[in-house]
Every structure is written in structure tokens, then in C-alpha cells.
Amino acid sequence: MKPELSVIIPALNEEKCLQRLLKAIKNQKFNCEVIVADAGSKDKTKEIAKKFRARVVRGGKPAEGRNNGAKDAKAEWLLFLDADVVIRRNFLKNCMDDIKNKNLDVATCFASPLSKKKSDIFAYKTGNAWMTFFKKLKPYAHGFCIFARKDLHEKINGFNEKLKFGEDSEYVVRAAKIGCFDILDRYIFASVRRFEKEGRTKSMFKYSYLNFKRLFGEIKNVNYEFGHY
């Protein structure tokens, strides 16, 4: 049976998180396939993917991995996730039902941190508010959760692999010009490991500045580390 959804996960050394996500996807009991775009992992990322019967394709930076996964996808709908997110029970079905009911072509959802720290919760609430406010003017989306019709993905030539920041939002900006975009009233739980690595205050100022700058043009000169921000 042809899958209804192709879940694409770019990954690099994600053995600690990938198994949790793949187990959650398996427990969704939803007709989907999983494609892991591996960027040369040195740990057990590929072994874990194969254990859960996910296909493994060549990855690279996240944009390249997402594009490579999409090329191998068999479903009419794509879902781009990061390996360190957590999804609730029936997340895939609920999101796809919302997409069909709203007749959407591309969509994202709100994010909540895998943290109880007030600063992390505030940061993600601010991000959700930003995303809602600019939904019509300049769509914003987290790369760790984007749904898109495969034919639309192909029409816009996928993610821009030259961008160093905001390639996820630039993707939905282009997609929204020829398709219907919206933010689903659903939540995905996102890692705060970037905050922990860079420092919370530094990260919040950095990404607030970059997102303001992105309103006036795409950003090409930022050091890009693997994993979402």
C-alpha cells in the first residue's frame, strides 16, 4: 500500500534521539514511510534507522538531507522532522486531518520546549507569537516540522541549500506564493540542546537578531551547525 506520508529526518550522530522519535512514529499507527538522510554519522544512527525499517539516504547539511529524502519519497505528502523532536500520540493523523480539512499545501505547527525552564518556555512562546504575527506577511516555520505536498516541493525546487540560516522559512515563503500555507493548532516538542550549548541569553539575542534581519532579506553568512536552533 502506498504510504500517505513520507517522514524525512536529516541526521548526524543522532543515536541518542533518533530511536525515541522512530518508536513514536511507529506507535502512531499511521500509514507512513520514514526516510533518514544520514550526513555521515559515526555512531549507530544508521543501524537504528534500519532497525525501525526506515530507508537511509545520503544526507549533508539539513537542507540537502531534506531534499535528498524528498527525492526518494513515495508519498504525496512530505513531513520534515528533526531527530530530536518528540511527537504526541496521533500527531500525524491529527495534523493530516487538519491539513485536509483546511485544504492546505504546506503547513507547520507550534513548538513547545522539552524543558521546564521559564526562559525556554518564554522563548518558544515568543517564537510561536512571531510565527503567527508574520503568517501572512512573511511565513515562518521551524525546519523540525514542515508538512508539504511533494508536487509543491518539486515545483519550488525544494530547500535552498545555499542559505546558512532560515532555509526552512525561506522554503515556506516560496511555497506559500503558489500554495496555501497555515499554522496548525498542534504542538511538537523541541529540544533545547542548542540553548544549552550556546547559552540561553546568547542564543535568544542571536536568533532574535537574525530573524529580524531575515525580514528584509535572506541570510547567507552565518556559521551553521547541524541540528535545529
The torsion angle over the Cα atoms of residues 209, 120, 224 and 80, rounded to 10 degrees, is -110
Reading the block at residue 226, the C-alpha cell is 547541524
Secondary element (H or E) of residue 11: strand 5-11
**125-157 residue pLDDT tens:** 988 998 999 888 889 898 999 999 999 999 999
pLDDT tens digits along 65-83: 999 999 999 999 999 999 9
pTM: 0.88
Give domain status of residue 224, yes or no: no
For residue 180, the enclosing domain spans: 5-214
Give the CATH number of the domain where residue 34 resides. 3.90.550.10
Number of domains comprising the chain: 1
Can you give the pLDDT at residue 206?
53
Instruction: Report the pLDDT value the prediction gives residue 228, as an integer from 0 to 100.
Output: 41
pLDDT digits (tens, 9 = 90+) for 161-181: 998 778 998 999 999 999 999
The answer to the question of residue 220 being in a domain is no
